[in-house]
Amino acid sequence: MKVAIAGYGVEGKVSYEYYKARGDEVVIVDEREDAALPEGTESIVGAEAFSKLDDFDLIIRSPGIAPKKLPYGDKVWSATNEFFEECPAPIIGITGTKGKGTTSSLIAALLRASGKTVHLVGNIGSPALGILNQVQPDDIVVFELSSFQLWDLKKSPHVAVVLMIEPDHLDVHADYAEYIAAKAHIAENETTTDRVVFNVHNEASTAIAGLSVGQRLPYPSERTAHVRGEYFYHHDVELCPVDELQLPGEHNKENACAAITAVWPWVQEPSVIAEGLRSFSGLAHRLKLIREADGVKYYDDSIATTPGSAIAAINAFDEPKIIILGGSDKGVEYHEVIQLCKESNTRVIAIGQTGQQIAELCSEAQVACERVEGAMTEVIEAAASMAQSGDVVILSPASASFDQYKNYADRGDQFIAAVEAL
């Protein structure tokens, strides 16, 4: 079979190895002239590369390539589709605008605490096809799914987890409706024996769950996992104290409720749930305390590329706050996060491409704001000058990172380095 790998990024590299090992004739196709390709491989590169695929039997779409760029009908497939088709084990799929990585990791931690063999793959960083040959029928796969992976998914997971959804990636998707439609594939192809766990407080999440013919499980809810007083419960079963969860913020309590609801068919022992929650201390660049300097605590939440994520970060703390907002533009609105800054007396440092827009909104709302156009070292110097003992400084930009940084991790790493240098 003649196979085109459309897009040679992280997942494209794994797809290339997978189809090559299968014995197919594999050609790498990439719009970038300077794509770093393996020596001796057959390739088609350049701006018109995707228009030259008529002769291929199969075209593997990488997540970063919009389906509209590949108008070849049933020839177009993806690594995600291939994994779902071939995986012998149950799949728990997780999507949402924020909290996917944390919830996926909490699900994996709970299952591992119960003794299950778990494979954590997908948007969290491990391409699924790379571990397919390791998966056994009794294992469980936890698959973090972005809208780009879901865009053309043909088969839904056995358990679909739909977290809070808000506008995002509008620089890639035509509009919010297209973004939601992509997310909806996680549930719309479920069977009657499947389950969908959804955020009962979020309209888009609830609408997506309504497309499933499987069992619909809202969270947090008296029917499923929820917080009652200072304890996690599932229905009427008291599980463990909330402080077994090592992550700050009400949004992370909701993420934990989603995780507990998702794993309930496999994990129901309160002590095991407590152990699983306790074992996970958080992912890099997700509201992580970096250090305390002169009585000021600095938190790295560089993963927060949407206003809703920044709102969750602000709401996670009772202390006086300074938030670093701004970055590259994804076409989203910042009015709501600026309004919360006003209501919570949170001061703002506005950075990056969207920083001027944010600074203007702060001026209109009479929110204290300093515009910093330099490197992260200058941003942290400004924050340290503004902060007083007892404050928290949060890098939670509500914007993408590509104006000044390679990605959100690079932005977070530079934040960490600047904070550690204080």
CATH number of the structural domain spanning residue 214: 3.40.1190.10
Domain identity same for 271 and 336: no
Considering 45, 79, 113, which residue would you say is the last residue of a domain?
79
pLDDT for residue 163: 98
pLDDT for residue 40: 85
pLDDT level of residue 350 (50, 70, 90 thresholds): very high
- Whether 126 has a pLDDT exceeding 90, the answer reads no
Domain identity same for 64 and 134: no
CATH number of the structural domain spanning residue 20: 3.40.50.720
Q: Give CA–CA dist 277/422, Å, rounded.
A: 33
Q: Mean pLDDT over residues 195-210, rounded?
A: 98
Domain identity same for 270 and 361: no
Considering 79, 98, 121, which residue would you say is the last residue of a domain?
79
Domain identity same for 120 and 238: yes
Domain identity same for 129 and 61: no
> Tens of pLDDT along 131-163?
999 999 999 999 999 999 999 999 999 999 999
pLDDT for residue 283: 83
Q: Give CA–CA dist 381/268, Å, rounded.
A: 48
pLDDT level of residue 378 (50, 70, 90 thresholds): very high
Q: Give CA–CA dist 252/220, Å, rounded.
A: 12
Q: How far does Cα 167 stand from its chain's mean position?
A: 13
pLDDT for residue 170: 83
Domain identity same for 133 and 96: yes
How many angstroms separate the Cα of 390 from the Cα of each of 32, 201, 292, 321, 385? 49, 33, 10, 9, 14
Residue that the structure tokens 């008291």 belong to: 238
- Angle made by CA atoms 390, 391, 393, in degrees to the nearest 5: 145
Q: Mean pLDDT over residues 8-35, rounded?
A: 94
How many angstroms separate the Cα of 162 from the Cα of each of 111, 202, 394? 19, 10, 27
- Whether 254 has a pLDDT exceeding 90, the answer reads yes
Give the end-to-end CA distance of the chain in Å, rounded to a whole number: 58
Alpha helices in 197-306 (DSSP H): 203-209, 250-263, 270-279
- Whether 105 has a pLDDT exceeding 80, the answer reads yes
Q: How far does Cα 212 stand from its chain's mean position?
A: 22
Q: Mean pLDDT over residues 171-182, rounded?
A: 91
Domain identity same for 148 and 252: yes
pTM equals 0.83
Domain identity same for 146 and 270: yes
% of the chain at pLDDT higher than 90? 91
Q: Give CA–CA dist 376/351, Å, rounded.
A: 9
pLDDT level of residue 123 (50, 70, 90 thresholds): confident
Task: For residue 19, report the phi and psi dihedrals to the nearest 5 degrees.
Answer: -75, -30
**Which element (helix H / strand E) includes 162?**
strand 159-162
Mean pLDDT of the chain: 95
What total number of domains does the chain contain? 3
- Whether 379 has a pLDDT exceeding 80, the answer reads yes
CATH number of the structural domain spanning residue 293: 3.90.190.20
Q: Are 46 and 157 in contact (CB under 8 A)?
A: no
Boundaries of domain holding 346:
288-420
Domain identity same for 163 and 296: no
Considering 79, 110, 125, which residue would you say is the last residue of a domain?
79
Q: CB 118: neighbour CB atoms within 10 A?
A: 18
Domain identity same for 19 and 120: no
Domain identity same for 216 and 91: yes
Q: Mean pLDDT over residues 327-345, rounded?
A: 94
Q: Give CA–CA dist 383/378, Å, rounded.
A: 9
What pairing do the DSSP bridges indicate for beta strands 231-234 and 237-241? antiparallel
Q: How far does Cα 272 stand from its chain's mean position?
A: 26
Domain identity same for 92 and 70: no
More confident residue, 172 or 328: 328
How many angstroms separate the Cα of 413 from the Cα of each of 105, 299, 386? 21, 12, 22
pLDDT for residue 419: 98
pLDDT for residue 122: 94
- Whether 125 has a pLDDT exceeding 80, the answer reads no
pLDDT for residue 230: 96
